[in-house]
A and B are shown apart, each in its own frame.
Chain A
Amino acid sequence: MNHGYTRRTTLALGGGTLAAALLSGCGGTATTAGKSNGKPVSGGSLTIGLDAEPTTGFDPQVAQAYNDQQIISQFYEGLLSLDDKGQVQPGLAKSYRQVDATTHRFTLRDGVTFHDGSKLTTDDVIFSLERLMDPAIKSPFTQQYKIKKVTAVDATTVEVKLSAPQPSLYHFLARPWSGAIMSKKWTTARTEDQIKTAENGTGPFKLTKWTKGVSIQLAAHTGYWQKPKPYLSSVTYRLIPDETSRVASLRSGAVQLMAFRDLRLVDDLKKTAGITEANGPLVSSVWINMNTLSGPLADKRVRQAFNLAVDRQALIKTLGGGDSATLGYVIPPQDPYGTTPTSADTVYAQNQAKARELLRAAGQTKVSLELVAPSDPAYGPDISAMELMKAQLAQVGITLNLKLIPFATVVPRVLSSDYSNMIMMTSVLNADPSQYVSLWFAKGSPATKVKDQHLWDQMAAAASESDDSKRVTLYHQLAQYIADQCYLMVPYAKAVRGEAWTDKVGGYRPDATATRLELKSTWLAS
Chain B
Amino acid sequence: MLRYLLIRIARALAVVLCLSAVVFLLAHLIPGDPATLIAGENSTPELRAQITRELGLDQPVWSQYLSWLGHAVRGDLGTSLLDGQSVAAQVSERLPVSLELAVYAAVIAAVWGIPAGIWSAMHQGRAVDRLVNGTAFLGLAFPPFVVGTVMVLLVSRLTPGWPLFSFVPFDQDPLLNLQDLLLPAVALGIPFGATLCRYMRAAVLDVVGQDFMRTAAAKGAGRRRLMLRHALRNALVPVVTAGGLQLGVLVGGTVIVEQVFALPGLGSLIVSSITQHDFTVVQGAVLALGASYVVINLVTDLLYPLIDPRIRTTGARRDG
Question: Do A and B form a real pair?
Answer: yes
Asked if residues A253 and B94 are in contact (CB atoms below 8 Å), the reply is no
Asked if residues B262 and A238 are in contact (CB atoms below 8 Å), the reply is yes
Q: Is B42 an interface residue (CB 8 A)?
A: yes
Instruction: Give the docked Cα–Cα distance between A140 and B43 (Å).
Output: 6
Interface SS of A by simple majority: loop
Asked if residues B152 and A5 are in contact (CB atoms below 8 Å), the reply is no
Residues of B within 8 A of A415 (CB): 41
Q: Is A4 an interface residue (CB 8 A)?
A: yes
Instruction: Give the docked Cα–Cα distance between A248 and B157 (Å).
Output: 8
Asked if residues A411 and B41 are in contact (CB atoms below 8 Å), the reply is yes
Residues of chain B in range 241-270 having any CB-CB distance to chain A below 8 Å: 259-265, 268-269
Q: Is A153 an interface residue (CB 8 A)?
A: no
Asked if residues B277 and A408 are in contact (CB atoms below 8 Å), the reply is yes
Nearest Cβ on chain A to B208's Cβ, whole angstroms: 45
Q: Is B33 an interface residue (CB 8 A)?
A: yes
Asked if residues A241 and B262 are in contact (CB atoms below 8 Å), the reply is yes
Q: Is B82 an interface residue (CB 8 A)?
A: yes
Contact mask A393-406 → B, CB, 8 Å, 1/0?
Answer: 00000000000011
Residues of A within 8 A of B40 (CB): 7, 64, 140
Instruction: Give the docked Cα–Cα distance between A409 and B261 (Å).
Output: 30
Residue in chain B with minimal CB distance to A3: B42
Q: Is B85 an interface residue (CB 8 A)?
A: yes
Contact mask A255-278 → B, CB, 8 Å, 1/0?
Answer: 100000000000000000000000
Nearest Cβ on chain B to A438's Cβ, whole angstroms: 10
Q: Is A249 an interface residue (CB 8 A)?
A: yes
Residues of A within 8 A of B156 (CB): 248-249, 251-252, 254
Q: Is B7 an interface residue (CB 8 A)?
A: no
Q: Is B10 an interface residue (CB 8 A)?
A: no
Residues of B within 8 A of A77 (CB): none
Asked if residues B164 and A140 are in contact (CB atoms below 8 Å), the reply is no
Instruction: Give the docked Cα–Cα distance between A5 and B44 (Å).
Output: 10
Q: Is A12 an interface residue (CB 8 A)?
A: yes
Partner of B261, one of A14, A56, A245: A245
Residues of A within 8 A of B38 (CB): 56, 138
- Count A-side interface residues using an 8 Å CB cutoff: 51
The answer to whether A252 and B36 touch (CB under 8 A), given A6-B41, A213-B94, A415-B41, is: no
Instruction: Give the docked Cα–Cα distance between A138 and B33 (Å).
Output: 16
Residues of B within 8 A of A211 (CB): 264
Interface-centre pick from B31, B33, B51 (highest chain A CB count, 10 A): B31
Residues of A within 8 A of B160 (CB): 251-253
Nearest Cβ on chain B to A406's Cβ, whole angstroms: 5
Q: Is B84 an interface residue (CB 8 A)?
A: yes
Asked if residues A55 and B276 are in contact (CB atoms below 8 Å), the reply is yes
Residues of A within 8 A of B206 (CB): none
Asked if residues B276 and A11 are in contact (CB atoms below 8 Å), the reply is yes
Q: Is A468 an interface residue (CB 8 A)?
A: no
Asked if residues A55 and B32 are in contact (CB atoms below 8 Å), the reply is no
Instruction: Give the docked Cα–Cα distance between A405 and B31 (Å).
Output: 9
Q: Is B155 an interface residue (CB 8 A)?
A: yes
Q: Is B275 an interface residue (CB 8 A)?
A: yes
Q: Is A193 an interface residue (CB 8 A)?
A: yes
Q: Is A99 an interface residue (CB 8 A)?
A: no
Partner of A140, one of B32, B39, B259, B265: B39
Nearest Cβ on chain A to B107's Cβ, whole angstroms: 24
Q: Is B149 an interface residue (CB 8 A)?
A: yes
Asked if residues A212 and B31 are in contact (CB atoms below 8 Å), the reply is no
Instruction: Give the docked Cα–Cα distance between A212 and B195 (Å).
Output: 34
Residue in chain A with minimal CB distance to B51: A138
Partner of B43, one of A55, A138, A213: A138
Asked if residues A248 and B152 are in contact (CB atoms below 8 Å), the reply is yes
Asked if residues A244 and B275 are in contact (CB atoms below 8 Å), the reply is no
Instruction: Give the docked Cα–Cα distance between A55 and B261 (Å).
Output: 21
Nearest Cβ on chain A to B101's Cβ, whole angstroms: 13
Residue in chain B with minimal CB distance to A240: B262
Residues of chain A in range 12-66 having any CB-CB distance to chain B below 8 Å: 12-15, 52-57, 64
Residues of B within 8 A of A411 (CB): 36, 41
Instruction: Give the docked Cα–Cα distance between A11 and B271 (Å).
Output: 13
Partner of B47, one of A12, A138, A240: A138
The answer to whether A11 and B42 touch (CB under 8 A), given A55-B82, A412-B36, is: no
Asked if residues A248 and B31 are in contact (CB atoms below 8 Å), the reply is no
Q: Is A197 an interface residue (CB 8 A)?
A: yes
The answer to whether A5 and B41 touch (CB under 8 A), given A238-B262, A254-B165, is: yes
Residues of B within 8 A of A14 (CB): 271-272, 275
Instruction: Give the docked Cα–Cα distance between A197 and B149 (Å).
Output: 32
Nearest Cβ on chain B to A415's Cβ, whole angstroms: 7
Residues of B within 8 A of A244 (CB): 149, 152-153, 260
Asked if residues B84 and A192 are in contact (CB atoms below 8 Å), the reply is yes
Partner of B83, one of A57, A239, A242: A57
Instruction: Give the docked Cα–Cα distance between A272 and B261 (Å).
Output: 22
Nearest Cβ on chain A to B48's Cβ, whole angstroms: 10
Q: Is B167 an interface residue (CB 8 A)?
A: yes
Asked if residues B84 and A193 are in contact (CB atoms below 8 Å), the reply is yes
Nearest Cβ on chain B to A2's Cβ, whole angstroms: 10
With A4-B42, A239-B262 given, name 4 new contacts (CB 8 A). Answer: A56-B38, A212-B90, A242-B259, A248-B164
- 9 inter-chain pairs at a CB distance below 8 angstroms, sorted by A residue, are A4-B42, A7-B40, A13-B275, A144-B42, A193-B83, A244-B260, A408-B31, A408-B37, A415-B41
Across the A-B interface, give the 8 residue pairs with the lowest CB-CB distance, nearest first: A213-B264, A408-B32, A140-B40, A193-B84, A248-B156, A252-B156, A240-B262, A252-B160
Task: Name A's B-contacting residues (CB within 8 A).
Answer: 3-7, 11-15, 52-57, 64, 135, 138, 140, 143-144, 192-193, 196-197, 211-214, 238-242, 244-245, 248-249, 251-255, 405-406, 408-409, 411-412, 415
